[in-house]
Amino acid sequence: MSTNETADLTIVTACRNREEHLRIAIQSWLELSPPQIIICDWGSKIPLTHERLGIERLANKVIIDRHEADHWILTWAFNEALSKVNTKFVLKLDCDHIVNKDFIKKNKLAFNCFSRAHFRQAEEGQQYINGAFISCTELIRNSGYYDERLTTYGRDDGDLYQRIYDKCLEASLIAKGCIRHMEQREETRTKEQEVSKEAALAARLGIKTTNFLINRNRFLCGMLQPWDSSMFQNRKRIRAQFSGKNPKQEALIEYATLRTFQKYYQQTGLYKKTGITANEAYLEALIKLDKVYSTKSSSSSLLKIFRKYAKIIGEEGQGSYAMAMLMAITKSEEDSQT
């Protein structure tokens, strides 16, 4: 049974230092008359308040859930908000998404059904509506929400959508023209994340950092078991593994980073242009990164991780051939440092 009423709809979003955008966007959300809006404030330098958002009279309707955090992790932040929804349906929006007044009329709310925005359907310059969706809450809950092992920009939405497609009765696209996003610079999409190394590798390849991160997370998803509701229940332990220095998880992420670099290096024909192999170029980029950015993990320590945990990755069927190639290249470099 379907309905176009908003009595059973909660709007959720998450935000870090994006108050200016949210202050504008939330006015369009309120015009849909949802019974509740849940905002996860993920460590904004200036904490979000109803007064700062210009909605001081709506404290009972708009819930601001504050979490202290050093940097932005979309999957963790949005899961905090999504897991608190008690209505039958949920509309997930980024804090720069603006919706039309007729959004609910044009998009069906139905049990076990799901609708999402799609970058291919968006107007020019509006591809970042991709993260918006409206769904039966139970469907999202049974899918385990976002995969919290993805801690940087990219692939988080696509991974969730794929898991939902396997469980829902009907999947569709949000009606065209019902949603748009405010303009922002490309670099702001990764500004609040620790991705200086990935940015340097992307610069070496001549591509956008966001494109590199999307494909790196795609490789990572392919090496991991699919996320599910039982993993969400165990998310505190999983967060600790993927945010700290767990050797096995760090090795997987580094391997996915290497594979992404190799892919783009081949596609762009850089070997023919430079005569330098992908693995050699990767090593050069890491060494340069240490000198320029002074990251916490030096290139030599990363190389040790590669060599020490290549066996773990190989045993899990991820393929250690490319890893072995890197070992051969980097061994002489490390030997020269000792």
Helix H or strand E encompassing 3: strand 2-3
CB atoms within 10 A of CB 115: 23
Q: CATH number, domain at 162?
A: 3.90.550.10
Residue 58 falls inside a structural domain: yes
Q: 19: which residues sit within 8 A by CB, 6+ positions away?
A: 44, 46, 48, 52, 53
pTM comes to 0.84
Q: Indicate the DSSP class of residue 193.
A: S
Domain assignment of residue 189, yes or no: no
Please check whether residue 188 lies inside any domain of the structure.
no
Diameter of the chain measured on Cα atoms:
70
pLDDT (tens place) for every residue of the chain, 338 residues total: 345 566 799 999 999 999 999 999 999 999 999 999 999 999 999 999 999 999 999 999 999 999 999 999 999 999 999 999 999 999 999 999 999 999 999 998 889 999 998 877 767 777 778 899 999 999 999 999 999 999 999 999 999 999 999 999 999 999 988 999 988 777 777 788 888 889 999 999 999 999 999 999 999 998 899 999 999 999 999 998 888 667 778 878 888 998 899 999 999 899 888 888 888 888 888 777 765 544 444 445 555 555 554 554 444 434 444 444 444 444 444 444 44
Instruction: Check whether residue 97 and residue 238 sit in a common domain.
Output: no
The verdict on 38 and 159 lying in the same domain is yes
According to the model, what pLDDT value does residue 289 have?
74
Cα 230 from chain centre: 20
Q: Of 156, 181, 206, which residue sits at a domain end?
A: 181
The number of angstroms, rounded, from the C-alpha of 264 to the middle of its chain's C-alpha atoms is: 20
25 & 173 share domain: yes
Range of the domain at 69: 2-181
Please state at what angle helix 299-315 crosses helix 278-293, rounded to 10 degrees: 140
Give how far Cα 65 sits from Cα of 39, 40, 76, 159, 288, Å: 6, 5, 13, 25, 40
Same domain, 170 and 213: no
Tell me: do 200 and 176 sit in the same domain: no
What are the residue ranges of helices labelled H in 173-246? 196-205, 209-223, 229-233, 235-243
Q: Among the three residues 181, 214, 247, which one is the final residue of a domain in this structure?
A: 181
Question: Could you tell me if 89 and 209 lie in one domain?
Answer: no
Task: Give domain status of residue 16, yes or no.
Answer: yes
Nearest-angstrom CA–CA distance, 115 and 174 = 5
Instruction: Note whether 102 and 201 are same-domain residues.
Output: no
Same domain, yes or no, for 11 and 158? Answer: yes
Q: Are both 199 and 288 inside the same structural domain?
A: yes
User: Cα 86 to chain center, whole Å?
Assistant: 24
Say if 243 falls within a structural domain.
yes
Q: Are residues 258 and 134 in the same domain?
A: no
Q: Let me know whether 142 and 241 are in one domain.
A: no
Contact (CB, 8 A) for 170 and 229: no
Identify the pLDDT of residue 140. Answer: 96
Boundary of a domain, candidates 181, 205, 233:
181
Amino acid in position 52:
R
- What is the number of domains present in the chain? 2
Token code pair at residue 52: 């700062």
Q: What Rg, from alpha-carbon coordinates, does the chain have?
A: 22
pLDDT at 5: 61
Question: Is the CB of residue 128 less than 8 Å from the CB of residue 119?
Answer: yes
Q: How far apart are CA 153 and CA 220, in angstroms?
A: 13
Find out whether 337 and 306 touch, Cβ atoms under 8 Å: no
| Residue 324 domain flag | yes
Please answer whether residues 108 and 134 qualify as being in contact, where contact means their C-beta atoms are separated by less than 8 angstroms: no
Beta-bridge mates of residue 42: 67
Residue 187 lies in a domain: no
Distance CA 12, CA 85 (A): 8
Same-domain check for residues 262 and 119: no
Confirm whether 310 is domain-assigned: yes
